[in-house]
Amino acid sequence: MAGGWAKDGAVQEQIDASVADAIKQARAQLAKGVGSENCDECDSAIPLARQKAVPGTRLCIKCQETKDNQHQRHSTINRSGSKDSQLR
């Protein structure tokens, strides 16, 4: 039945999400000790100087900066969001 298939798909999606979370957590724990020679994001080589300067890094400088900027932009959006709700 069509309904049954849809339900199965939803459950599988949840399982996939859990697995993805587990992989993400394992990667985060790994990042603490073991760095990477290639960037996790863009796969370009991470300079040896950076590997030594930031032990356990898995991102190149460019991707790390992009990530940092995203964090900053995110908190700005949150702040303007609460400002909007105050105006209402």
Max distance between CA atoms of the chain, in angstroms, equals 59
Cβ neighbour number for residue 53 with a 10 Å cutoff: 9
Least gap, CB of 65 to Zn ion (angstroms): 10
Q: For residue 63, state whether it binds Zn ion (rule: CB under 5 A).
A: yes
Residue of the chain from 15, 34, 42, 45 that contacts Zn ion (CB under 5 A): 42
Asked if residues 36 and 16 have their Cβ atoms less than 8 Å apart, the reply is no
Q: Is 12 helix (H, G, I), strand (E, B) or coil?
A: helix
Stretch 67-86: interaction string toward Zn ion, x if CB under 5 A: --------------------
Q: Which residues bind Zn ion (CB under 5 A)?
A: 39, 41-42, 60, 63
